[in-house]
Structure 1
Amino acid sequence: MLESGVHPNEFTFTFVLPACAAVKSVSDGYMIHSLAIRRNLDSNSFVATALVDMYAKAGNVSCARKLFDKMPLKVLASYNAMIGGYAINEQCEKAMEIFDVMLKEGVEIDAVTMVSLLQACAYVGALQRGRWIHQHGMRAKVPINVYVAAALIHMYVRCGSIVDAQKVFDEMSDRDLVCWTAIISGFALHGLPEMAESMFVRMVREGLKPDGVTFVGMLTGFSHGGMVEKGRQYFNLMSESYGLRPGLEHYSCMVDMLGRAGKLKEAEALVKSMTVNPDAGVWGGLLNACRIHKNVKIAERVVDELLRLEPENAGWYVSMSNVYAAAKQWDGVVRMRLMMKERGITKPPGWSSIEVSKRIHRFTVFDRSHPQSDAIYRTLNDLEERMRKMGYVAEMSCVLGNFEEGGLKEDLLCGHSERLAIAFGILSTPSGEVLRIIKNLR
């Protein structure tokens, strides 16, 4: 087009920039952005919105935000692009900030806004905020199409309310495969494999054909429920009844299921017999099972494969350290830690969050930054003392290092991020209220 001497207009940019976003081609995006500036079209609201969307989807959220803030006129699509950009980049609090600004400016939400906001709520476990968005969408008469319904089900599932998820599903007049799969996966993740299977049977009776994602949900449920024979049955059902070839995700579920059941040799044999090359997810499930069952021998073979596939993934070094620690082989722990140090590999910081009064509170290990930090630690110490009097003995095999003296191991456990979040929840909510903790590394 340019070689033919045809000059692009604002419509050209709004078509080309989404193409760059789809393939995450930042270099092409920069070039087109420069061309928009030369054509004096970068301030056009449609072009600027497309630029915000492109940069956000390419992972450059800070650049997207700068462009968003400079926009002289922000329309609904502009807010949707910025909210969606924060949501897909897991910067959920900032997505909520933009939503608050949007409401103050009197811009009403649509289905696209709802899907992005619900995705953000799901990531951080913001159930109260998610419920409010659901109610606000109903007040604003946003149509609950299959995309919004699937996002609502996913949000409620991730935030720990399977009852609300089922209510959304039951109220739907038209259900597609995505919504069926969402509720099946929800029951599976909540440890209700029988309910997941019941929904699967209903779905098939209504004439829908399950896909690979549906079977991932089913196998996950059987894995968490310890239902090995059912898992085998559905794994075989994929190819025998539906012509679906098992993929990496399905093998991961099977390996996890066999591993949880203590069938480590069978799980390892399954990995070696796979029709596709096993990835880190498959081997990682087996390594976790080795930690649970303290099988160092198989774990050492597995971690060799993992470090061959992902030598810079700190999680595998830490997981193998945990295997050694569970077996009290402290020399192995030291060896893995030294290997990490020599290779310059650091573990990403873990955090736990809890929502109180529609606000997300996030804690890291031994966090002292919270305004109520002193009260949180006092509450933890009080709980520990009361639990000991009732016969509680801490499970300390997961604490790396030989710290048997003086209760040091138990002191280390007291600083776990999820314990801090629980203590804050006890302090900040009425007695009897459910506490929902979200962790980023699980």
Structure 2
Amino acid sequence: MRITVLGSGYVGLVAGTCLSVLGNDVICLDLDELKIEKLRQAVLPIYEPGLDSNVAEMVKVGRLRFTSKYEEGVAHADIIFVAVGTPQAKNGAADLSFIRAAAAGVGRHLVKKSIIVIKSTVPVGTAHMVKEIVEGELASRQRTDVQFAVVSNPEFLREGNAIQDFMRPDRIVIGSDDAWAVEIMRRIYAPLSRNHDKLLVMSPRSAELTKYASNAMLATRISFMNELSRFAEAAGGNIEDVRRGIGEDSRIGRHFLYAGAGYGGSCFPKDVRALVSAGRSLGIDMSILAAVDTVNNQQKTILFEKIASFFASRGGLKGKTIAIWGLAFKPDTDDVREAPSLALIERLLSAGAQVRAYDPIAVHTAKTALGSTDLVTFCSSAYEALAGADALALVTEYREFRTPDFDRIAASLTEKAVFDGRNLYARADLEAAGLHYFDIGRGNGV
């Protein structure tokens, strides 16, 4: 099929590439001409495992192309996927300015029967809004004869595992009231539903809410466990034992029950707040989700609280150097948006400390996020970050951090303290190396 994807950010580039791998003729449209030129050379604006090689191969065989011109992209396609950003506005709501602009751009150039598929995470009612915008543009051109349908098809991609998630989805949500559009969507996704029909067809409004509800549920589980971890630590319990105890209950399951330093990224924080804001506009008090966001913001302070408490009897943090392992909000991505590491670094710098940081992927994005400062040194290896440091804080659970040389860590750190924000390590191993060890919710206190 002939497909155009509006937006070449994370969702758009992954979707466009995977759709071309499935045999479709795909154009990715983005108004950033510099980005488009780099994509034509297979230079990607994001990091995602396996994406670069797939883009290069699809460009080479001619099934994936890039343009900055609406007229070219819209004229090419029978199906137009909208995958532009919906950032958080100042009031917490989703900013739909890019969605509106995309809808208007499509409407100004639509000349044949088409399906407009919204992949972006959008508030309930956005598909209806997009339909009205396109209808208005067609009317202004006196082209009300052009038939189109708007479909909600939210993405459920995890950064670091996006290609696998697209190619082997748990479910494919299709929100549409147009039977002909649903049948075409079935054809698009047929290669991904060979074992069984993965399509869940519902109204556009239900599909839009499904995406928010999914992210909100996962964020709720994380914040719930993080709140319990504080209780467990204060009461002398062990949150890891609790996790196993409740995770074996088939009604609960094992996933998203790990206590840590808080969640971040481009989805969970933004989508939870957007749902709270949307509820407010409807007169609904989304008190549970408001608490989820509050707990997460509190949890992002927990490593700093433990570090500050430890150094309180050692002259305070001023002049101290803290090594940080992991800057991305999760492993295998360069995304540092709302990352717990940034919250920790900002507090450490405010307390007068300096930071030596290492991340195998996200150094460049962290530099951009933190801005110019001489108080943060970015290192090229985990052990280089330890040089001259007083203590180590582990924030992101990369594989390379799972079994480090604890004796080497002890020899490097002046105060011989490790603050484990992901509960990766066993206390006995670190204490055997002569290290002070602090984790999350496993009963040690500070």
TM-score, with normalisation over the residues of structure 1? 0.28
Instruction: Identify the structure with the greater helix proportion.
Output: 1
Q: Which has the higher contact order (CA 8 A, sep 6+)?
A: 2
TM-score (norm: length of structure 2): 0.28
